């Protein structure tokens, strides 16, 4: 009985640590870097894959391009530092891919290409909330796509759409359907 209790506690602690260790968008893991490099396509999954192929790597951190830093960047780490909430980044530990927030109304790493009737620059946002609000306030708008800054210019852009187009996996975009 005592052995069963010890095993149950040990497994519970392991699951709690694994939950905190998985990769997540909008989290940074500062420190413990041993190498860094530019990621030209700007896809955080490439940073995670590079960690998988490097035997020294225990964790990774990916910084999205921005107006200040127009190229995406990846840091490989020889230990697993604690994560810190920050919309600049995606980070994780070896053995995990990129896990994005789940929401019924927001589609991370998704572009609904086409159907645009209006687009405009906007301030950077971790979840495209202002773009979504602009769509909700416009009766003509049925869907929206927010493009992160640094991918197609220095500023973020919001695309309002009069048609709902099929979703396409694109790491630089956040989209949603409102009507």
Residues 114-144: pLDDT tens digits? 999 999 999 998 899 999 999 999 999 999 9
38-59 residue pLDDT tens: 999 899 999 999 999 999 999 9
- What does the domain layout of the chain look like in residue ranges? 23-93, 107-177
Q: Cα–chain-centroid distance for residue 68?
A: 18
**What SS3 class is residue 59?**
strand
Q: Which residues have C-beta within 8 Å of that of residue 98, sequence separation ≥ 6?
A: 23, 25, 44, 45, 48, 90, 92, 109
Q: In what order do the strands lie in the sheet with 107-111?
A: 107-111, 168-177, 143-147, 156-161, 116-122
Q: How far apart are CA 65 and CA 71, in angstroms?
A: 5
d(CA 114, CA 145): 10
How does DSSP classify residue 3? Answer: H
pLDDT digits (tens, 9 = 90+) for 65-121: 988 888 999 999 999 999 999 989 999 999 887 877 777 789 999 999 999 999 999
Task: Give residue 5's pLDDT.
Answer: 39
Cβ neighbours around 66 below 10 Å, total? 18
For residue 13, give both structure tokens: 């602690």
Claim: this prediction has a pTM higher than 0.95: no
- The fold adopted by the segment(s) 107-177 is Hepatocyte Growth Factor (3.50.4)
Q: What is the mean pLDDT of the chain?
A: 87
Bridge partner list, 144: 160, 176
113: β partners: none
pLDDT recorded at residue 172: 95
Neighbour-count burial of 19, counting CB atoms closer than 10 A to its CB (0-12 exposed, 13-18 middle, 19+ buried) = exposed
CATH fit for domain 23-93, picks 1.10.3210.10, 3.40.190.10, 3.30.70.120, 3.50.4.10: 3.50.4.10
CA-nearest of 106, 105, 109, 104 to 23 is 109
Q: Which pLDDT belongs to residue 23? A: 55
Share of the chain above pLDDT 70, in %: 87
Q: What is residue 72's three-state secondary structure?
A: strand
């Amino acid at each position: 009985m005592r052995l069963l209790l010890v095993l149950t506690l040990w497994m519970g602690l392991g699951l709690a640590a694994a939950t905190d260790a998985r990769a997540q968008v909008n989290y940074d893991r500062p420190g413990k870097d041993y190498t860094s490099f530019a990621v030209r396509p700007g896809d955080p999954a490439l940073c995670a894959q590079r960690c998988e192929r490097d035997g020294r790597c225990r964790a990774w951190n990916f910084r999205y391009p921005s107006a200040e830093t127009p190229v995406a960047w990846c840091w490989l780490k020889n230990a697993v530092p604690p994560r810190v909430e920050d919309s600049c980044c995606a980070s994780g530990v070896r053995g995990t891919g990129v896990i994005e927030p789940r929401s019924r109304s927001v589609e991370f790493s998704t572009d609904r290409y086409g159907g645009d009737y209006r687009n405009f620059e906007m301030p950077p946002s971790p979840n495209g909330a202002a773009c979504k609000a602009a769509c909700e306030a416009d009766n003509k708008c049925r869907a929206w796509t927010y493009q992160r800054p640094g991918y197609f210019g220095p500023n973020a852009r919001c695309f309002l759409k009069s048609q709902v187009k099929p979703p396409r996996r694109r790491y630089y975009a956040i989209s949603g359907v409102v009507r």
